[in-house]
Amino acid sequence: MTKPQHFAFILVEEFSHLAFACAVEPLRIANLISDETLYRWSFLSENGETATCSNGSVTLVHHGLDAIPACDCLFVLSGINMRAHVSRGLQMALRREHRHGTAIGALCSGAWILAETGMLDGMKTAIHWDFHDAFMERFPEVGLVRSVFVADEPHVTASGGTATADLMLHLIERDHGYDLSVAVADQMVYASVREASAAQRVSLQSRNGIRNVHLSRAIARMRETVEDPLSPARIAAEIGISTRQLERLFGKFLNTSPKKFFMDLRLDRARHLLIQSEASVVEIAMACGFESSGHFSRVYKSAYGVTPMQQRARLS
């Protein structure tokens, strides 16, 4: 009989219940289908008694961070407001396990917590797309990717939600074969299992029915040059069309102009940074291509009805 693998999950306060279920249920179903105990799991929290997820549900746990059991992989699972829960005790526990050679992974926003310990420096890493902008600013030394999960690094990471199920199915296939992983997915009525290389968000082309390569390339250039925005004329020249053609493409497919689309993209990134990072308003203005914080504040208020400082104050 195969020796069971033991996965331990540190449930950080306000963790994602969806990611939690997608992590544990594939393991349970694998045991059920195989009629073997292929996996065991245990839950941990900082207080050693309970953990509360973002929807208010309370989960009983088996251990505190001072009594982490021997395991094949220790996963950090967090959700919203993860920065508020990166405690000294949690970081010390993770570093201790790392020194002892424990394999450590992260689910949903858990990569942020691992990055705070320095464990992810120089590695490819996945985190929920909603944290991408702030993560890149906070951890430039980490190789952030837009994949649903990363399994070929010392620290495996999944971007949360159903991407956690994708990672678990990948691990099941790796350790127990393709047939079992497919049977587990079937039992979950999960017909769209994704490879690690799949992008997290539905592509712009899919969301808007766009099949125009020039428009896709123009938007890609905008995303690449947020800190130093290019003019529509420069973008058009780079992709080999006229400015007039570029204007027509944005009007036809997106009902907007290139200039407004680019500004909305920059403001959206600025909003994410205000909400998710501790960067100053001046730093965010520069990161999003604004010449001054005053100009940034005026444009931001026009778009969202509040100044950047008022936006941040709402989180207090």
Read off the pLDDT of residues 157-177 as tens digits, 9 standing for 90 and up: 999 889 999 999 999 999 999
pLDDT over threshold 80, residue 197? no
Same domain, 14 and 160: yes
Same domain, 126 and 231: no
Give the domain-ending residue among 154, 187, 220.
Answer: 187
Give the domain-ending residue among 153, 187, 221.
Answer: 187
Whichever domain contains 297, its CATH number is 1.10.10.60
**Does residue 105 sit in helix, strand or coil?**
strand
Same domain, 180 and 214: no
Same domain, 208 and 180: no
Alpha-carbon span 65 to 46, nearest angstrom: 6
Same domain, 183 and 209: no
Same domain, 173 and 218: no
- Residue where the block lists tokens 């940034």: 296
Same domain, 256 and 300: yes
Q: How many helices (H) and strands (E) are present in the chain, helices listed first?
A: 14, 11
Q: How many structural domains is the chain composed of? A: 2
Give the domain-ending residue among 155, 187, 219.
Answer: 187
- Is residue 154 one of the residues assigned to a domain? yes
Domain containing 216 equals: 204-313
Nearest to 226 by CA among 136, 111, 294: 136
Whichever domain contains 86, its CATH number is 3.40.50.880
Same domain, 133 and 242: no
The model's pLDDT over 235-270, given as tens digits with 9 standing for 90+, comes to 999 999 999 999 999 988 888 899 999 999 899 888
Name, in order, each residue with C-beta under 8 angstroms of 99's C-beta and a sequence gap of 6 or more: none
**Does residue 281 sit in helix, strand or coil?**
helix
Same domain, 20 and 155: yes
Q: How confident is the model at residue 198, as a pLDDT?
A: 59
- Is residue 286 one of the residues assigned to a domain? yes
- Is residue 167 one of the residues assigned to a domain? yes
Same domain, 144 and 279: no
Same domain, 220 and 143: no
The Cα-based distances of 178 to 31, 140, 174, 175, 193 in angstroms read 15, 36, 8, 9, 12
Q: How confident is the model at residue 315, as a pLDDT?
A: 60
Burial, 207: exposed, middle or buried (Cβ in 10 Å; 0-12, 13-18, 19+)?
Answer: exposed
The model's pLDDT over 51-110, given as tens digits with 9 standing for 90+, comes to 999 999 999 999 999 999 999 999 999 998 899 999 999 999 999 999 999 999 999 999
- Is residue 197 one of the residues assigned to a domain? no
Same domain, 26 and 165: yes
